[in-house]
């Protein structure tokens, strides 16, 4: 059997130093996904998200524009917004009442007079780059980031038919997973484990039907497609068609599910009749929050009796099976006995991902 390479050293998944480096070279330097534009659907809506040690306020201002700011008051550095978000025309710091417009401008600073030494215009909230692709919201902490579309390369064309911008969230489940975020991407990127841990999935899609797109180190996504079995309409517990397929899809597209890891933290699973997303939020080397959402067409959601529970129950079961094995892997990696193991030819995407990780993070001491 040819050599298909070996898994990475455990430090990539366990070391606080690697986790800190990732905050600079991955989450501090790339576009990463934080949610959907519908999270700030109307002017005045704002949300607060914590990523890579930063708290960020994302607003939709009076002109309808989406903005992002560091959640840091320009007076003495106090966190401006507590909680997960809300609706307001202004953001006010709880300390001395400096008040900001939703476009970041400082509009009130009690006891500060405009003059030579103080101009409100100099003390707006500091911006974070924010951009949208097909309804997905991305942030970038780099000072002068490349446009988001350059990072996404050909994905917007590749997935245009799903018209994700038009979809609305039908369900969300948030998981707290005791595993490194990269193990979750690796688990997502192979289906050799499917017959072993996902019996319900194996009934609707054959694990060997997967066809990976060849990856390369410059790519910022990894993925491929799997076939739905004969007579199966979608990924759900019984595989039955309970919704119309998305209107832009070809007959051929409706016979597959496309699974793409959009690096560094969005997992995109495109089904004939819905799109599922996972957003990974690294919390610690051995802990990741995973936000899983199911998105449907507004027409379908408006139909009497619309019910997403078949898709949600199926993937909630599958998710929990995946998190469980990822947590078991995290535990095993901690052992002093652990040494990298061999990959098979069906774990090619994992090797591609490992190359990407090493290029981003560099070597580790072990």
Residue numbers at the binding site for ligand FES (CB under 6 A): 73, 75-76, 78, 93, 95-98
- Provide φ and ψ at 243, rounded to 5°: -130, 160
Pick between residue 78 and residue 220 the one whose CB is nearest to ligand FES: 78
Q: Least separation, in Å, of the C-beta of 151 and ligand FES?
A: 34
**Pairing mode of beta strands 221-227, 168-177:** unpaired
Name which of Fe ion, ligand FES, none residue 95 binds, using a CB cut-off of 5 to 8 Å depending on partner kind.
Answer: ligand FES
Question: How many residues make contact with Fe ion (CB under 5 A)?
Answer: 1
- Rule CB under 5 A: is residue 322 a binding residue for Fe ion? yes
Nearest-angstrom CA–CA distance, 349 and 256: 19
Helix (H) / strand (E) element for 148: namely helix 148-152
Q: Least separation, in Å, of the C-beta of 109 and ligand FES?
A: 7
Q: Which is nearest to 85 in space by CA: 44, 114, 54?
A: 44
- Provide φ and ψ at 32, rounded to 5°: -130, 155
Q: Which is nearest to 201 in space by CA: 265, 305, 276, 290?
A: 276
- Residue 291 sits at the vertex; the CA angle it makes with 286 and 293, to the nearest 5 degrees, is 155
Map the footprint of Fe ion across residues 7-26, applying CB under 5 A: none
Taking residues 263 to 302 in sequence order and writing x for each that binds Fe ion by CB under 5 A, - otherwise, the string is ----------------------------------------
Pick between residue 76 and residue 153 the one whose CB is nearest to ligand FES: 76
Helix (H) / strand (E) element for 86: namely strand 85-87
Sheet containing 106-108: order of strands: 90-92, 99-101, 106-108
Name which of Fe ion, ligand FES, none residue 96 binds, using a CB cut-off of 5 to 8 Å depending on partner kind.
Answer: ligand FES
Name which of Fe ion, ligand FES, none residue 322 binds, using a CB cut-off of 5 to 8 Å depending on partner kind.
Answer: Fe ion
Name which of Fe ion, ligand FES, none residue 92 binds, using a CB cut-off of 5 to 8 Å depending on partner kind.
Answer: none
Nearest-angstrom CA–CA distance, 210 and 57: 39
Pick between residue 75 and residue 255 the one whose CB is nearest to ligand FES: 75
Pick between residue 96 and residue 105 the one whose CB is nearest to ligand FES: 96
* Residues of this chain that bind Fe ion (CB under 5 A): 322
């Amino acid at each position: 059997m040819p050599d298909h390479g070996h898994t990475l050293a455990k430090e990539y998944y366990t070391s606080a130093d690697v986790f800190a480096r990732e905050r600079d070279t991955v989450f501090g330097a790339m576009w990463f996904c934080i949610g959907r534009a519908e999270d700030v659907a109307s002017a005045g809506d704002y949300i607060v998200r914590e990523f890579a040690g930063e708290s960020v306020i994302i607003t939709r201002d009076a002109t309808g524009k989406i903005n992002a700011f560091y959640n840091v008051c320009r007076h003495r550095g106090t966190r401006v917004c507590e909680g997960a978000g809300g609706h307001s025309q202004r953001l006010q710091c709880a300390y001395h009442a400096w008040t900001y417009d939703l476009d970041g401008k400082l509009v009130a600073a009690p006891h500060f007079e405009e003059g030579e030494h103080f101009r409100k215009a100099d003390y707006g909230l500091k911006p974070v780059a924010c951009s949208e692709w097909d309804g997905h919201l991305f942030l970038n902490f780099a000072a002068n980031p490349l446009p988001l579309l350059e990072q996404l390369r050909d994905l917007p064309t590749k997935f245009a038919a799903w018209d994700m911008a038009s979809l609305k969230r039908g369900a969300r489940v948030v998981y707290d997973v005791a595993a490194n975020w990269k193990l979750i991407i690796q688990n997502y990127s192979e289906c050799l484990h499917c017959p072993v841990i996902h019996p319900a999935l194996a009934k609707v899609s054959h694990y060997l039907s997967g066809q990976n797109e060849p990856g390369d180190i410059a790519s910022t996504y990894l993925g491929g497609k799997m076939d739905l079995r004969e007579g199966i309409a979608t990924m759900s517990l019984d595989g039955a068609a309970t919704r119309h397929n998305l209107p832009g899809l070809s007959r051929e597209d409706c016979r597959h599910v496309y699974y793409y890891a959009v690096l560094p933290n969005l997992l995109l699973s495109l089904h004939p009749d819905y799109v599922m997303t996972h957003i990974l939020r690294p919390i610690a080397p051995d802990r990741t929050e995973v936000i899983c959402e199911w998105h449907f067409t507004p027409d379908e959601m408006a139909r009497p009796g619309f019910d997403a529970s078949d898709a949600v129950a199926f993937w909630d079961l599958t998710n929990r099976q995946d998190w469980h094995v990822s947590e078991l892997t995290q535990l095993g990696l901690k052992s002093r006995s652990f040494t990298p193991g061999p990959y098979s030819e069906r774990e090619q995407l994992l090797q591609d991902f490992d190359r990407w990780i090493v290029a981003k993070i560099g070597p580790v001491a072990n």
